[in-house]
Amino acid sequence: MAGTGVAEPELTTTTPVRVGHGDEIARLHDELDRVRRGRAARVLLTGEAGIGTTTLADAFCAQLAGTHDDAVVVRMTPAEAVPARAATPVAFAAVDQLARALDAQTAGPRTTAARSAMALHDAVLAMRRPLAGDRPRPVVLALHDLQHVDPASAEVLTDLLRRLHAGGILVLATATEPARLPEGTRAWWPRLFAPDAVGGELPGRRPTEVRTVTVGGLDPRAVAALVATRRPAAPVPGLVVAERLAAATGGHPVHLELLLRQVPDEVLAGTAPPPPPRSLATEVAGALEGLPPGTRRLLGALAVVGEPATVALLEQVAESDPGSTAPETVDAAVEAGLVVATADGPTLVLRFVHRLVRDAVYRRQSPGRIAQLHCTAGFVVGGRTALAHAVAGAAGRPYPAMADALEESARAEVADHDEAATRLLWAAELSAVGADRQARLLEAGVRLVRSGAVARLRELEPELRQARACAARDLALGVLASEACDPDAHVVLQAAVDDADGPDDVLALAAVRLGYDHVQHGRGARAVEVVARVPSLSDDPRVLEEAAVVEASGRAQQWGPAAGLDVLTDRLAGAYGPDPAIVAGRLNLADGRIVEAYARLHEGLDRIRGGTATTMGRLVHLYLAEAAFRLGRWDEAEAEARVGATTDAEPGAAWIGPSARATWATIVAVRGGAEAQAHLDRARADLGRSPHALGLFTVTVGEALVAHAQGDAERAHRLLTGLADDPVPPLLSSPTAPWRALQAEAALDVGWVTVADQIVHGWPVGGTPLWFVLARHRLLARMAEARGDIDGARTIYRGALDLVAADPEGASTCPVEVGALHAAAGALARRQGWTTAAEDLAAARRLFAALGAQRWVVAVDAEIDAGVPGVYGPPSETRGSERPTATTDDLVEGLLADDEQPDEGRAAQLAHGEPATTGPMLPQTTPVPVRRTPDTLPAASVEAVSAASADHHTLTPREREVVKLVAQGLTSREVAAALYVTPKAISYHLGNVFAKLGVTSRRQLWGRTFE
């Protein structure tokens, strides 16, 4: 209706009409407009069941399709295929449906691994690819009815939404309000739509917008509009009548539709009183009573099937004669407002207008009739759903034959342990004898341990605690305790390992899980000892692989990372799962071999994307955050840390969240953000609730890094000295562990040259990665300068820069250290008045600017402002005679390419997290306030900027658009979003701009006008 803000879908006899909530739909369009401009947003529509949240979301999506909008819409609507008594839902049903919806959009040769949040994340990002030109398409990910999502899918979706922060994506979810859910139902989704679910705002990055909208009933104007559409020949109700109808139904659309089928015209005209208020279930019961018996039988079968079904199939379930359903039988159900009929060619498909109607029809039937219909449905529908119908058909009564069949089918399932566990739990429900029920429950628990489905296992915990003491029970309870970081978990797991009557496969699995717990608590020697017996208990290659992973971790804790890598070297090529690659990545990282670590960690991620089960799905993000940071991939590191930081409330991840938050704080601090301390405070508070040795060490290193980045070298040194004086976790005790470089740096910054010298001279001289070699040279040069040996310092710097020039590929893997080396060499040259100062400081600035390291850029600017002639001009001619030219420009170009336009694999990962990291820092200077667009520029740059402004008429229109925005202080990503192009295109245009204007830095463009 014009002027009412009412959305009016086309009215047919088979399409339910929904009106009202026009304002909410308009706000969704506004949200999508912001998403088009590069924002990320998620909106939760919530309210009473049946109030119209899903219909509202569908109306919004239908408008996008009807206007030929360029947005890509992907829907997930979980189907409750068996509506009743099967206490254990089919695992991963919802995410399977989402994966199929994503694959339908891409129509590619490969299918998406539904059980991998990373694979789903990659597939969603792939939707953004432009069809033509260079403008990516916005994506609307519609997740309907979250209250009906099975627990296994809920865990995957939780992980997916933690990752999904890329710009251009609107997550639109619907769910019943938690307070209105049935008793005992867990609302898993509200925390994902809380303001702190997506972390704080980062420098140069817009935060994900999060909103929860409570949808209420239809107001009187919308009620009048509904009457006009549903009863066009009836009198138009006045405001008073509409208010009465709204009061009688609470404005509930489903309830209103049923009521409008029954009230006479006199009620709508206001000449007769409305009927007394009745519940929706009562309205449905009244509608059923007025239907012929054949229609009621058909609706009963549809309620049991639980999903849209053909009339032919419903005839089989209801045990009616094929083809016996007359057209008027279906028409009666449609006219009563209970179902929608859709013609699919010659076939007629029926579905209920809403789940609430289906539930009411289901409950109106007798238990015996429900059981009979479920049994028949089991034979008719076949496949996986047939088993669920068989369980529901038992109606809670023992069914030994079916229980035996389910148990047999579960044991035949050797790969999908989640599915096997589901069938075993169904078998337990149907068991006639308590001992059989308990045995099947315990076997299901073992299968859930195998699959790593801790959330599902935790739901069984009360029953497991009532079970008899045995290896299977102790294994399951021990795993739950270990995942919760219970320090006594190893006692329970040891009891499982020591059970002489336990099956060998259970004992082997218990030994592996006990080994994991020993490793988690730093008991490496005991871990190696316990998994040594696994080969004698099992020949399962996957179990043997897990034992090898535990052995590698344990030996690394005993003898250092190299010892652990020796165990894994021969297993990586033919590994079954991702864990060997992930652990190898972690060990390489601890040994300072960042490139190898990064490659192995991504190898593990690729395996997880393929749907392979892992016990390290959280840890990999922690490790990758550090590796990405060290390699200069800071956007990726932030994204990894963001996901890791949201795991702190989950069982088994109590120390991961604080560790990831410490890493996040480091990146925020170096980039000039103000939230670093808040991240550290929360990390420390969260860790205090669940102390963990590795977590405490990681957070302390993060605190030292942030202190050093903010200019408080004394605090950084105090924190790191305290760590070094206590026993260092063996995994972090390698001489090339990154935190050791910061320890020596902080000692130098507070003037303790002797202490720094002792630290550095304890390091290995040969066989170390390039970043470590450069860090050692830089610190040795600084110590030489501190002792007054200026020539010695200059020689050391020259030697280090020669190494950079000689190995550009290696230098590209350690941009932070290369930048710090240039900065330190330039600072010495400036103090000594050498002409090389200009080139080194300019090189450092370019590198730090490419990284987005605002604090380090400001520190270099402070050196430049102290007086470096020609720093923004061409490099000094004398440099070439002193040593080869370093490949800094190539390195900056590579950083921009990596950071601003990741390849598809990297782009798909910009949403996951990990432990604190160290990085070589600049020589300490007095902190300078961050200057995004400075009021004044160094004198050395004034002439270049003046020339730039004079020559801007040579720019093309597109280049002028770009340079205007850059002059306002926008980053390449922000300019790209404003102009609807890729960041790489902006980098290309800026290269042309710099060449035409004769400038070498964005900073020279800040504050200028280009009209």
CB 89 within 8 A of CB 185: no
What are the residues whose beta carbons fall under 8 Å from the beta carbon of 175, sequence distance 6 or more? 44, 45, 46, 53, 145, 146, 147, 187, 189
Q: Which domain holds residue 229?
A: 220-278
CATH of the domain at 51: 3.40.50.300
Residue 667 lies in a domain: yes
What are the residues whose beta carbons fall under 8 Å from the beta carbon of 466, sequence distance 6 or more? none
Question: Could you tell me where the DSSP H helices lie in 498-560?
Answer: 504-520, 524-531, 541-559
List strands edge to edge, sheet with 309-310: 309-310, 347-352, 339-344
How much is the pTM?
0.68
* Domain match, 128 and 97 both: yes
411 vs 126, 156, 213, 447, 646, CA distance in Å? 38, 25, 46, 10, 36
CA separation for the pair 804, 689 (Å, rounded): 45
* Domain match, 783 and 665 both: yes
* Domain match, 371 and 233 both: no
Pairing of strands 72-76, 209-214: unpaired
DSSP structural state of residue 6: B
Give the residue ranges of the chain where pLDDT is below 70.
1-21, 66-69, 79-90, 107-110, 130-134, 184, 195-206, 615, 646-654, 689-691, 727-731, 733, 868-953, 968-969, 977-982, 984, 1000-1001, 1003, 1006-1011
* Domain match, 168 and 103 both: yes
At residue 299, the pLDDT reads 93
* Domain match, 770 and 834 both: yes
Boundary-marking domain end, from 853, 885, 907: 907
What are the tens digits of pLDDT across the range 427-479? 998 888 889 999 999 999 999 999 888 888 988 999 999 999 999 999 999 99
* Domain match, 29 and 154 both: yes
The burial of 690, by beta-carbon neighbours within 10 Å (0-12 exposed, 13-18 middle, 19 or more buried), is given as middle
At residue 82, the pLDDT reads 54
Residue 206 lies in a domain: yes
CATH of the domain at 375: 1.10.10
Dihedral (C-alpha) 659, 665, 666, 667: value to the nearest 10 degrees?
Answer: 120
What are the residues whose beta carbons fall under 8 Å from the beta carbon of 203, sequence distance 6 or more? 668, 671, 672, 673, 852, 854
Residue 631 lies in a domain: yes
Question: Could you tell me where the DSSP H helices lie in 43-116?
Answer: 53-66, 93-106
At residue 143, the pLDDT reads 94
Residue 914 lies in a domain: no
Q: First and final CA of the chain: distance in angstroms?
A: 48
Q: Which amino acid is at 439?
A: A
In the three-class reduction of DSSP (H, G, I as helix; E, B as strand; rest coil), residue 140 is classed as: strand
* Domain match, 759 and 856 both: yes
* Domain match, 888 and 903 both: yes
* Domain match, 692 and 832 both: yes
Helix (H) or strand (E) holding 43: strand 41-47
CB 806 within 8 A of CB 774: no
* Domain match, 67 and 133 both: yes
Q: Cα 294 vs. chain centroid, distance in angstroms? A: 50
User: Would you tell me how many other CB atoms lie within 10 Å of the CB of residue 1007?
Assistant: 15
**Number of independent structural domains in the chain:** 5
User: Would you tell me how many other CB atoms lie within 10 Å of the CB of residue 713?
Assistant: 21
CATH of the domain at 849: 1.25.40
* Domain match, 805 and 889 both: yes
At residue 14, the pLDDT reads 33
Beta strands in 666-803 (DSSP E): none
Boundary-marking domain end, from 857, 884, 907: 907
- Buried (b) or exposed (e) across 98-126, using 16+ Cβ within 10 A? bbebbbeeeeeeeebbbbbbbbbbbbbbb
CA separation for the pair 58, 72 (Å, rounded): 14
* Domain match, 836 and 966 both: no
At residue 438, the pLDDT reads 94
CA separation for the pair 915, 698 (Å, rounded): 6
CATH of the domain at 982: 1.10.10.10
At residue 822, the pLDDT reads 93
CA separation for the pair 643, 370 (Å, rounded): 45
Boundary-marking domain end, from 331, 363, 390: 390
Residue 609 lies in a domain: no
Pairing of strands 347-352, 309-310: antiparallel
Residue 561 lies in a domain: no
Residue 407 lies in a domain: no
Residue 1011 lies in a domain: no
CB hemisphere CA count around 8 (13 angstroms)? 16
Q: Which amino acid is at 116?
A: S
